[in-house]
Every structure is written in structure tokens, then in C-alpha cells.
Amino acid sequence: MSEYVEKYHQYGNVPPPQSLKPKDVYQAHHGRMEGITTFKSDYLPYDVVSRPLRLQEEYKPKFGEMDLGTTYRRDFNLHKLQPVTLVRPLERKLIKGGKFDTIPTYRDDYRLWEVQRREPYKLEYMYHPPTEKFGNSTTFQDDFVPRELNPRQSFKPPGVAKLSDVPFDSVTSHRSSYIAHQLEPKFVRPKEEYKPSSQPFQDLTTHRNDFKGLLGEFTKSYKPEYTKIGSNAHFDGSTEFRDCFQPWPVFLPEARKIRDYVPPPGNMDLNSTSHLDYVPHMICPVAPIRPVSYGRSSNAPFQGNTTMKEDFQAWDSCRQDIIRRHQEIPKPVGKFDGLTTFKSHYIPHEIIPVQSFRPLRVVVPTSARFEDETMYRTDYTPKAQEICPANYPSPPGYVFVNTDSRGHKFFRRFTPEINPFSHPNGNHMPKEVAVAS
């Protein structure tokens, strides 16, 4: 019992409120779709008829002469024009004996005045630092007084396990409510005893029925034995390629001689239709129509001084030298030896090559026969392939004796002279052989 259980009593089976949220399921419309849109209803299709092609009328030339007279030719008659005479004024040379005054009107009207520089009206103020010490406090120092920081007391319970003096009874709700009951013995299904069938097992298949095992000889291999063919005759070096493809004599292509140029007989007529029809005429060049230049000549020297030249004088400017850092390590004086520690310490010695004891690759001719016998040829001899008699329903050379309780058939050999099932070690098989059905 607890305070929560006493105040809040348990109610009956109260189902939770149902959710009014619609299910996220696609609701298909089972009605028929008309398929009519505003475009289909407003824009009706019309029958478009192609424009008929206009046949072009055949050109029929008119008979008679064409009148080429125009109003321009009729109203504006041709008049003879004469070249316009140039109306040029006579050249007048103004020659005066007096001295030419070169003072322009700008200099005469606008003369330089001596302008004095205006003195500034700024009061001279000399800063004198105070001799007394600054002892005024700031608003921050007056308002914010430094105080000691008192840490806030923590109400967190200490993380220390509280030990109880009552002994631990280790009783839980599971141990008190669920009592262990004794289990009934497990039902064991009795094992059925195997009862062999009284009828003989028919293991005869279509293959065993149709293809009966008969004694016959195995197929002989017609593969020739591997024997190395050797010959002591000298190799001629002739091949099929050398016999069929003989070298043919090849000659250089003959160079075609260029024929010497033979000029045609007679003189060449250099007259063309242009030379004969178009006769050159003497044409005078057109005189250029230019105005007469009235040059003013003066013997006075030209004064090329301007205000720009007088005010802005050219100063002698030199190129600034490169500011280089002072070299701390002094440069060596004298000739460079070029001798390194490797050259001074490690003296080269004469290298003596190591003598090779590898035998020379020389083919030693011999007339003895090459022994190509291997361990496989000597140890592994071909043996006859045997067939297990259990593959046959009635093995040839054996007589059926009986069948045991497990279904095994026993046969007895009746031909002691032929022993096809012999052991590799030489031991013979017993007279009765167990064959699994």
C-alpha cells in the first residue's frame, strides 16, 4: 500500500479516446471520369482545309518594240557643261619694317600680381602636463563596489549509499506469488521396433532389366606408345616454305625519261580580243580642288615657353637603389678547392671482379641412347578394370544362396578356375560374398 494507491483508486475498463485523425489511406474515386476540360469545352476543333495552290500563268511575250522613254528624259534636256573656273584671291604679302611685338593679349591683360601668403589665425597652444596626480574616481568604481563571492549552498543529497541494520530477507513478489509446482514426467513415445517385410525387395530397375552385365573384353586403346624418335642423320635445313617460295630476282623500276621541250614553229600572236577591241586613250589626270593656303611668314624667333614649363620644372630624379640585407656570412676569398669529405676520406681502390664458377653452356654431343624411363612408367603398370558384382541383379559366375534379416543377398562362386575378383595382395575373396540390396 502507498499514498498514491490510497488516493487514486483504480477504475474499470476505460478504453482510450479514439483518434479523429483521418487514416493516411488513398481513397479511390469509383465513379466514371468524364475527361472534359475547360480547354476541350471552349476550344472546339474545326476542320482545317488546306489553301488551294494558285497556278502561275504562263508567260507570253508581247509583240512590238518597247518604248523606253521616261518623263525624266522628256522634261530634263541635256546641256553642255563647262568646267568651273577657280576663283582664288590674290596673294598679298604683308611686309613691315618695324619690330614684331610678340606679347599676346593674354599676357597684356592678365599680369602677375605679387600675392602675399595669408597667415593662419590658429592660436598656438602648448600642452603642459599636470603636476598633480589624478585622484578622481570613475562612475564604475563608485557604483560597483567589489564584494566577496559567497557560493550558493547545494541542496543535492550526497551520493552515499545508506546502509540498513535490518537483515536482507531476499523475498520478492515472484518468490512469494509464484510457487514452484512439481512437473509431471515427460511423455516418452515408445520406439517402434523395425519389422522387416516378408516380401523380397524388388530392386530391379529398367537399366538392370534391359542391360545385363555380360563378360566381355574392354576396349583396347589405339593410342600409340610414346617413343622418342631420334635420328643421327645431318639436318639439311630445307623446309616447305623454302622449297615452295623461291627467291625471285627483283629489279629496280625504270626511271621514265622526261622529253626535251621543243618550242612550236612560228611566231606567237600575243594579240587578244581585249587588245584588238579596246584601244587605249590618252587621259589627263584630274587636278585636285584644294583651297589655297595663306601662310604667314615671320622672321621673329618662336617663343615656346608656356605656363606649364615655367611652373613645373623638371627635377633631377635618380633611381632608388635596391635595399639589400647585409650579408652576415662573409664571402670566401680565393679559389674553390672542390674537395668534399667523401673524396678526402674514401680513396678509390681497384676492384677485382669475382671469378665465376658457373659451367660453360656447351652442348656435349653423345652417341648414347637417351634413357626416357620414369618412375611412373616403371612402377605404375596398366591393370585390368574390374566391375563390382553388386551392380548386377544376378552377378555372372555366382549362384544365389539366401537373404538375411537385413535384406542382404549372399551368392556363391561356382567357377573356381576363373578368379576375376582377386585382391591386389594376392589373397582370394571368400566363396560367399555379401551384396547390399
For 368-383, what is the mean pLDDT?
A: 80
Q: How high is the pLDDT of residue 292?
A: 65
Cβ neighbours of residue 393 under 8 Å, at least 6 residues apart?
203, 204, 208, 209
pLDDT band with cut points at 50, 70 and 90 for residue 399:
confident
For residue 39, CA distances in Å to 32, 34, 35, 45, 335 come to: 20, 14, 11, 11, 102
For 154-180, what is the mean pLDDT?
A: 81
pLDDT digits (tens, 9 = 90+) for 272-289: 888 788 777 788 877 777
pLDDT digits (tens, 9 = 90+) for 322-363: 777 777 777 777 787 778 888 888 877 888 888 888 878 777
Burial grade of 61 (CB within 10 A; 0-12, 13-18, 19 or more) = exposed
Residue 125 CB neighbours (<10 A): 6
Q: How high is the pLDDT of residue 437?
A: 42
Ramachandran angles phi, psi of 40, nearest 5°: -70, -35
Q: How high is the pLDDT of residue 93?
A: 64
pLDDT band with cut points at 50, 70 and 90 for residue 40:
confident
Task: For residue 432, list its beta bridge partners.
Answer: 412
Handedness of CA 10, 15, 20, 22 (dihedral sign): positive
* Backbone torsion region of residue 401, taken as left when φ is above 0, otherwise alpha when ψ lies between -120 and 50, otherwise beta: alpha
For residue 152, CA distances in Å to 149, 156, 191 come to: 9, 12, 82
> Which of 208, 215, 207 shows the shortest CA–CA distance to 393?
208
pLDDT digits (tens, 9 = 90+) for 170-207: 788 888 888 788 888 888 888 888 888 888 887 788 88
For 225-237, what is the mean pLDDT?
A: 76
Cα distance between the two ends of the chain: 78
C-alpha span between 407 and 196 (Å, rounded): 8
Residue 393 pLDDT > 80: no
Kindly report the pTM of this predicted structure: 0.14
Residue 42 pLDDT > 50: yes
Residue 118 CB neighbours (<10 A): 6
Residue 424 pLDDT > 70: no
pLDDT digits (tens, 9 = 90+) for 210-227: 877 777 777 788 888 877
Residue 124 pLDDT > 60: yes
For 414-418, what is the mean pLDDT?
A: 56
Residue 148 pLDDT > 70: yes
Residue 429 CB neighbours (<10 A): 13
C-alpha span between 297 and 376 (Å, rounded): 131
pLDDT band with cut points at 50, 70 and 90 for residue 297:
low
For residue 304, CA distances in Å to 235, 307, 309 come to: 111, 10, 9
Percent of the chain with pLDDT over 90: 0
pLDDT band with cut points at 50, 70 and 90 for residue 100:
low
pLDDT band with cut points at 50, 70 and 90 for residue 436:
very low
Looking up cell 493516411, which residue turns up?
A: 24
Distance of CA 74 to the CA centre of its chain: 83
pLDDT digits (tens, 9 = 90+) for 64-98: 888 888 888 888 877 787 887 777 766 666 666 66
Q: How high is the pLDDT of residue 294?
A: 60
CA atoms lying within 13 Å on the CB side of residue 393: 12
For 4-21, what is the mean pLDDT?
A: 78
Q: How high is the pLDDT of residue 434?
A: 43
For 108-127, what is the mean pLDDT?
A: 78
